[in-house]
Amino acid sequence: MRIAFAGNPNSGKTTMYNALTGRSEKVGNWGGVTVGSKEYQLKKEFAGDREVIAVDLPGAYSMSPFTPEEGITSEYVRTASPDAIVNIVDATNLSRSLFFTTQLLELGIPMVVALNKSDVNAKEGTEIDVGKLSAKLNCPVFKTVSTEEKNNGLSEMIAKAISLCGTEQKAPYLQADIDLHDKAAVDAEDRKRYQFVNGIVAEVETRKVLSQETNKEDKIDAVLTNPIAGILIFAGVMWFVFWVSQAWLGPLVADWLVGYIEAFQEFVAGQLENSPPILSALLADGIVGGVGAVVGFLPLVMVMYFLIALLEDCGYMARVSAVMDPIFKRVGLSGKSVIPVVIGTGCGIPAIMACRTIRDERERRATTMLTTFIPCGAKIPVIALFAGAFFNGAGWVSLTAYFFGLVLIFLGALLIKVVTGYKYRKSFFIMELPKYKVPSLKFAFRQMMERAKAYIVKAATIILICNTVVQVMQTFDWHFQVVEEGAENTSILASIASPFAILLIPLGFGVWQLAAAAITGFIAKENVVGTLAVVYGLTAFIDVEELEMTGGANTVAMTMGLTSVTALAYLFFNLYTPPCFAAIGAMNSEMQHKGWLWSAIGLQLCTGYTVAFLIYQFGTLFTEGHFGTAFVPGLIAIAVMVVVIILISRKIRASFDAKYQLHKNAQTNVA
């Protein structure tokens, strides 16, 4: 038996689905969090011995889809014939929600209405006559509060939905038989339906707070969504998040953790004193040291995720989307491009997948191409390492990396706009601003722990294997002889990384160790930290004596032999070159076009290289009065990359021109 959960965006479908199935799917205090359908079996306490599958569907405002994810919902309820539908209605916004409800009731599938968020109604003094509403809709109606563990109304609601399976649903409102291609007829029919819905609402709902009155929330929104104040506040909020996570609380906790990791590494190395050096190198340096270096940054990442979860839950991130929307549209992206960018702070892959909600093909591909410029969670250890070792743990490094990523997105979007030419379709971004609420510490803690678990899994699998391979490649030469001290340049790793290191000379860090770390970063960005730990024999990226990230002329900075300028160039190179292979795979599946994919990789490579080149060369000019090493070869390398991108872009432009011409011809024919 299958029960579909359908309703408007941000009505609490996934929260209810999680409560009924025991899953922990991503929820958020904004619409559009769910972009695909998910299925799982109901808990026994709700379904008894029967096998009941709950299907969580993306939010939709009507059966006529405006966005691809709305299309998933209407397609599913129309064609998959679920045994019952649970229509989740936002009880705080009844008139808007019932439009979709009346359309679902027309399908003839047995349906139960869940008046979700009823606790908010109780606080605001809004009363809904459940009995009368049930009679008007011809279906059972239950008050539910999915966030409560007890007395939430879910058991009764599910029991009723199961008992209705096999019965026939009678619709309270039937759409007239109209030509669905006739826009005027469809509009007129929609207005009739709204009249019907408003009639029901007027009879069943009594409100104390009227929506047309300006309340405190509206006043806060006026400031937070102001084009100038909104951006300044967003910058301030992000600075606070990065400062707390990477300069204050994060390092404080990390210091405690690193102390244990170091002690354990010393213990392992001590136990292996009389064992073959290769074994000690692999176990103590490669595995414990390399993985420990990555795990040492876990508290910083956890604190950041906790704060981001609080921001999402209180409803602030939805306001950020509203602020960024006009700017994104101006550079040729969709307003919807904001959502992948916000999600990208956590991980690039779901951010890329979120691009599928963008209707226009060009905008979708452009967003997919650019969204990974936002530093994801995996890049946080790299930022924290360099900020700590070379900039006294300054919070501005993370903030600069974040906002510079946004600037690169805007510049990249403008470039794509120039390459692909004009658009023939306007794009719209409709997003409901959710109510502000006190963020749930429990929710944020759970989100943080889930992500921390995933981080540890990654460190204990991918990072561990990579560090072991790096350690082996560094220990042996091509004849599988152990490399002698002082002859590290003959190792397998050095011989593979050295040709790449030559290309990095114009960027100021043309040594094989840094090249090797940047290459392993394409497997997972945390690998940059792990590999640096292995190749330089460092673990103490966080200073246990000073209770803070290592700063100034410390061991890490001295061992790497980088100046602040070259360190910044290397950091930005790792942040803005192509993301990890998994994210590139996601880009491939979303773009579905080899030309676009290679353009994306080329653009990202060119961007990372150019940014690092400019930072190094001009940074050296300002600090030392002359350009850095290999200025002219660097310019030539950039020119070659630009020519390659132009050649690929011209091919793409040709296909776009053909498409635009077809559209123009079609418009002329219609006229």
DSSP secondary structure code for residue 7 in this structure: E
CB of 450 to another protein, least distance (A): 4
SS3 per-residue string spanning 453-497: HHHHHHHHHHHHHHHHHHHHHHHECCCCCECCCCCHHHCHHHHHH
Rank residues 89 and 281 by Cβ distance to another protein and give the closer one.
281
Rank residues 366 and 378 by Cβ distance to another protein and give the closer one.
378
Rank residues 469 and 614 by Cβ distance to another protein and give the closer one.
469
Rank residues 56 and 543 by Cβ distance to another protein and give the closer one.
56
CB of 477 to another protein, least distance (A): 21
Q: Longest Cα pair distance anywhere in the chain, in angstroms? A: 88
Rank residues 457 and 547 by Cβ distance to another protein and give the closer one.
457
382 vs 400: CA distance, rounded Å: 14
CB of 565 to another protein, least distance (A): 32
Rank residues 54 and 204 by Cβ distance to another protein and give the closer one.
54
Nearest to 404 by CA among 579, 608, 638: 608
Binding residues for another protein, per CB under 8 A?
23-26, 33, 35-36, 38-41, 51, 53, 271-272, 274-276, 279, 282-283, 287, 305, 343, 346-347, 349-350, 353, 377-378, 447, 450-451, 453-462, 464-465, 468, 524, 582-583, 585-586
CA angle 32, 34, 40 (to 5 degrees): 160
CB of 581 to another protein, least distance (A): 9
Rank residues 452 and 644 by Cβ distance to another protein and give the closer one.
452
Q: Which helix (H) or strand (E) holds 142?
A: strand 141-143
Q: Are strands 111-116 and 141-143 parallel, antiparallel or unpaired?
A: parallel
Write out the DSSP string of 26-68.
---SSTT---S-EEEEPPHHHHTTS--EEEE----SSSS-SSH
419 vs 422: CA distance, rounded Å: 9
- Which three-class secondary structure state does DSSP give residue 541? coil
- Which three-class secondary structure state does DSSP give residue 114? strand
Rank residues 17 and 391 by Cβ distance to another protein and give the closer one.
17
CB of 343 to another protein, least distance (A): 8
Write out the DSSP string of 273-325.
TTS-HHHHIIIIIIIIIHHHHHHTTHHHHHHHHHHHHHHHHHTHHHHHHHHHH
CB of 465 to another protein, least distance (A): 5
CB of 237 to another protein, least distance (A): 21
CB of 19 to another protein, least distance (A): 14
